Amino acid sequence: MSGILGYGVYIPAYRIKTEEIARVWQDDASSIEGSLHMKEKSVPGNDEDTATISVEAARRAVYHSGIDPKEIGAVYVGSESHPYAVKPTATIVAEAIEAGNDLTAADLEFACKAGTAAIQMAMGLVDSGMIKYGVAVGSDTSQGRPGDALEYTASAGGGAFVIGKRKEEVIAEILKTVSYTSDTPDFWRREGASFPSHGGRFTGDPSYFRHIANATTMLLDATGTTPKDFAYAVFHQPNGKFPLAVAKQLGFTEEQVRPGLITPLIGNTYSGCSLIGLAAVLDIARPGDKILVTSFGSGAGSDSFAIEVTPNIESKRQRLVRVSDAINRNKVYVDYAMYLKHRNSIRKW
Amino acid sequence: MERGVAKTWRSANARYNLTGVQCTNCKTAYFPPRMVCAKCGRDTKMVEKKFSGRGVIYSYTRIFVPPHDFTEEAPYTVAIIRLEEGPLVEGHLVDGKKPEIGASVRAVFRRMYTEGSEGLIHYHFKFEIV
């Protein structure tokens, strides 16, 4: 099957602390930090959006892969915050990575799992022989209604993966992917609405836990594996707590999950979330390591992947911008007023 | 302010990827692209050249009273960058480190301005101090 040739992530420099948001709404910061397992989240700059984040991540991915971008046959960008309602982000990305015009491109939306859906679509085209390389991006500048619990976690960032199948280029082979999908109304945003709505506690058991558990179990059954066969596991991370809980429920240890648990550092980057978690694990993985990834998107569905790292990963590391470097470069903390300005929630009169 | 759609479309590669031209005779590189070499005149051919995006700050200024499209962004810094391939290029600096003449920069991809709430979004290279 096809595999990963290169990857890249991009996280905006700005951060707001959980305690700063709690100060404004007079919430108990330590209680929120304890329940969500996160202390701060990333905030997009005034001049950053899903297109700019996608471009930066995709440029890093293409450079890391070492391919000629003119040979890319498909660009898919998954997001729930595309800058245009009509006009693809994917064409902007394709132009900015100089992929030429001999390609197919489209934007995807599936709440937090559109990035892994993009990977599956690229895999299908590569495995069928329709294209040589595909680029899959998951990226968001996610929105949280002021004062809502989501405001503590909804952040900005993205990940991009180059998919191909030439053995000498693949750094991690995708052994199998399965999906579990149902019509579950746990989270939504209507056309023209500024902020999403959600079902509160309904986003837990019938949504996140049900879909991730089913997709992961289906993958383990399909590959004849058990949790012990995997060096790392990445589960979608709406906060720092859920992925540890679902891991325990499925029989994975905290040690398998911690290296890919990025939300406590930057918040929930929605479509970027599972891709950034996978990238963080690939940053440290050794040849032969097996990685399990299961995303979750509200609405609802989960894509699960079994991945095995190849020896090619070592030689490409010199071209890599690691997730830890992408997170820690030039961090700038903003207060709540500046955060509102960055989110275009307040404007000059 | 509304720009022509055609002009926006024509300049996308230059704006996104910092793509200029180079004279095939004297090898002088130019940005933005131009039809004729300033040194060799008509007797030479210009070919497309993509710049690395790396350079140093040649000069800069802080804008407090902006043109209409940049009202929300002000105050911001505009710099002249000496690209490592030679040309001087004007560009916005993204927020972050304090600018200094001679500081190293790299090109990044950002939103430059938007035409109101319903018009085009214009993307462009900017420079980040590294």
Domains annotated for chain A, with CATH where assigned, are: 3-170+315-342 (3.40.47.10), 174-312 (3.40.47.10)
Kindly give the pairing relationship between strand A104-108 and strand A72-78.
parallel
Exposure string over A222-252, b if 16+ CB within 10 A, otherwise e: ebebeeeebbbbbbbbbbbbbbbebbeebeb
A37 is annotated as an active-site residue? no
- Return all residues near A310 (Cβ < 8 A) that are at least 6 apart: A3, A167, A170, A171, A172, A173, A287
pLDDT at B1 > cutoff 60: no
Name the DSSP class of A99: -
Distance of CA A89 to the CA centre of its chain: 16
Q: What is the pLDDT of residues B104-128, one digit of tens each?
A: 999 999 999 998 889 999 999 999 9
Q: Radius of gyration over alpha carbons of chain A, in Å? A: 19
- R_g over Cα of chain B: 16
Q: Is B91 helix (H, G, I), strand (E, B) or coil?
A: strand
What pLDDT is recorded for position A19? 96
Of the partner residues B50, B95, B97, the one whose CB lies closest to the CB of residue A45: B95
**Per the CB < 8 Å rule, is A47 touching B108?**
no
What's the count of helices (H) and strands (E) in chain B, helices before strands? 2, 8
Say yes or no for a CB contact (<8 Å) between A47 and B110: yes
Burial of B102 (0-12, 13-18, 19+ CB in 10 A): exposed
The beta-carbon neighbor of A95 closest among B16, B73, B108 is B16
Please state, in angstroms and rounded to a whole number, the distance separating the CA atoms of residues A151 and A141: 12
Interhelix angle A89-96/A50-65, rounded to 10 degrees, is 40
Indicate which of A11, A14, A15, A47 best probes the interface with B, i.e. most B CBs within 10 Å of its own CB: A47
CA distance A14 to chain B (A): 9
pLDDT in tens, B10-66: 889 999 999 999 999 999 999 999 999 999 988 889 999 999 999 999 999 999 999
Tokens of A155: 């952040």
Closest by CA to A292, choosing from A239, A217, A209, is A217
Residue ranges of alpha helices (H) inside chain A are 18-25, 29-36, 50-65, 89-96, 114-128, 210-223, 242-250, 254-257, 263-266, 273-284, 312-316, 323-328, 336-342
DSSP secondary structure, A223-274, as one string: HT--GGG-SEEEE--SSSSHHHHHHHHHT--HHHHGGG--HHHH-B-GGGHH
Closest in B72, B112, B123 to A347, CB measured: B72
pLDDT score recorded for residue A199: 87
The catalytic position among A80, A151, A169, A308 is A80
Average pLDDT value over all residues in chain A: 96
Chain A hits for B109, CB-CB cut-off 8 Å, are 52, 55-56, 59, 96
Task: Take residue A319 and report the two structure tokens written for it.
Answer: 């071209």
Q: What would the pLDDT profile of B57-100 be if each residue is shown by its tens digit?
A: 999 999 999 998 888 888 999 999 999 999 999 999 998 789 99
Under 8 Å CB pairs connecting chains A and B tally to 54
**Is A158:A48 a contact under the CB 8 Å cutoff?**
no
Q: What is the pLDDT along chain A (349 residues), one digit of tens a residue?
A: 899 999 999 999 999 999 999 999 999 999 999 999 999 999 999 999 999 999 999 999 999 999 999 999 999 999 999 999 999 999 999 999 999 999 999 999 999 999 999 999 999 999 999 999 999 999 999 999 999 999 999 999 999 999 999 999 999 999 999 999 999 999 999 998 989 999 888 888 999 999 999 999 999 999 999 999 999 999 999 999 999 999 999 999 999 999 999 999 999 999 999 999 999 999 999 999 999 999 999 999 999 999 999 999 999 999 999 999 999 988 999 999 999 998 888 887 7
Q: Tell me the C-alpha to C-alpha distance, in Å, between residue B61 and each of A88, A243, B65, B127.
A: 35, 47, 12, 14
B30: closest CA among B92, A96, B40? B40
Q: What is the ipTM for the molecules in this complex?
A: 0.94
Catalytic residue (choose from A64, A82, A198, A236): A236
Separation of alpha carbons A247 and A244, rounded Å:
5
Cross-chain Cβ contact B123/A56 below 8 Å: no
Q: Do B121 and A51 touch (CB under 8 A)?
A: yes
CATH 1.10.357 fits B5-12+52-129, yes or no: no
Q: Which is it for strands B29-30 and B54-63: parallel, antiparallel or unpaired?
A: unpaired
Q: How far is B114 from chain A (nearest CA, A)?
A: 10
Residues 6+ apart with CB under 8 A from B106: B53, B54, B127, B128, B130
Q: Which pLDDT score, from 0 to 100, does residue A107 have?
A: 98
Q: Where are the domains of chain B?
A: 5-12+52-129
Is the CB of B112 inside 8 Å of chain A's CB atoms? Answer: yes
Angle subtended at Cα B1 by Cα A349 and Cα B7, rounded to the nearest 5 degrees? 155
Q: Cβ(A13)–Cβ(A45) under 8 Å? A: yes
